[in-house]
Amino acid sequence: MGRRKQAGVALLAVLWLTVALSAMALATSYLVRTEVEAATNRIEGEQMRFLAAGGIEAAVDSILRSTIFRSPAVVEGRERPEFALGQRWLAYEFPGGQCVVEVVPENAKLNVNQAPSERLAALFRALGVPAIESADLALAIADWRSGRMSDAGNVFDAYYATLPEPYRARHAPLEQLEELLPVKGMSRELFFGRIERSAAGEWTRKPPLADLLTAAPTAGGINLNYAAREVLEALPGWDEASAARVVELREQTPFETGANLGDVVPESAQTTVTTVPAPFYTLTATCMHPDSRARRSVRALVEITGTQTTGHRVLGWWDDWPFAKELPAGS
């Protein structure tokens, strides 16, 4: 009887040991599989990032080969242009994946160093900021970019000086939009954009200020074919309906000139507009592979003049841009 009892205990111990080893084997298998998937995702993500960087270079080449920088005779006779005035998207097929590049000239945005405070306030209202807060923030930006009026400072200087970690206002033109973050009244939610739900239950995306404002030199008015709805809505005499109308029309056929804009938006007589891109462009490349869930976006601020050795100069680079827009259907 004693031997049988000992045999039963030994069998039970073996069974428990088997269960423990099986659990350890399953856990190890799961960890190995997880690590392999993580490593694969990391590798594919890096591949997409390099492809996106290649998409930026390809877009620069397409713009340089267009009629903007070459005569129509050269383009039509020797090369097929890949970029045309009013075109927003460029698509490329690379051996390692597909890349779609959004092209936006900087003159489609309000110049943060030149726009009157009334226009900045109108832009913030279009983004859903209450009127009083919009006006206060616009005045704070105007003070931030302007020279100091006296050694004593003003109410904004006093505000920055009394913060728990005080700092001095810039009091000079901005070189990068990120310099807006310390301005009185500026929130990270407004600067980086947000997704909010309307009263009807629909989710809408408020774009980051990088899509609406620029610190790059601009002249000649706002570009009709590329300006965001919020930028158009902020122009003198414009409203939400007129901005939406222009966006609808240009999606059908880009504006060749702004001469007949008054037929669409009668109030536009107060506004200086253009359809000619500035030499500064924001290029956002998004790359993906059909057999992978990896997707990366890279953004660059580029000056394209065709006069430098390489034809362009990179002024800003964001390796992992998290705010890429939804890609056009069929891309």
Q: Judge whether 88 and 226 are in contact, CB under 8 Å.
A: yes
What is the crossing angle of helices 117-126 and 131-145, to 10°?
140
Q: Judge whether 238 and 304 are in contact, CB under 8 Å.
A: no
Q: Judge whether 48 and 287 are in contact, CB under 8 Å.
A: yes
Strands (E), the chain: 89-94, 97-105, 110-111, 194-197, 203-206, 213-214, 222-223, 273-274, 280-288, 295-304, 312-318
39 is written with which tokens?
């490593």
231 phi and psi angles, rounded to 5 deg: -70, -45
Instruction: Residue 172: name the closest of 144, 153, 149, 152 by CA.
Output: 144
State the distance between the two ends of the chain, measured CA to CA, in whole angstroms. 78
Q: Judge whether 271 and 235 are in contact, CB under 8 Å.
A: yes
* Predicted confidence (pLDDT) per residue in 47-100, tens digit: 888 999 999 999 998 988 886 666 554 445 444 457 888 889 999 988 888 899
Domain 1-107+278-331 belongs to what topology?
Pantoate--beta-alanine Ligase; Chain: A,domain 2 (3.30.1300)
- Give the DSSP letter string of 46-92: HHHHHHHHHHHHHHHHHHHTSTTTS-HHHHHHH---S--TT--EEEE
296 is written with which tokens?
């990366």
Specify the pLDDT at position 250: 87
* Predicted confidence (pLDDT) per residue in 112-145, tens digit: 999 999 999 999 999 999 999 999 999 999 999 9
- Give the DSSP letter string of 128-170: T--HHHHHHHHHHHHHHHSPPS-TT--HHHHHHHTSSS-----
The one-letter code for the residue type at 170 is R
155 phi and psi angles, rounded to 5 deg: -65, -30
Return the percentage of the chain with pLDDT > 90, whole number. 42
* Between residues 237 and 140, the one the model is more confident about: 140
Confidence of residue 13 (pLDDT cuts 50, 70, 90): confident
Give dist(CA 119, CA 138) in Å, integer: 8
Domain spans of the chain, in order of start = 1-107+278-331
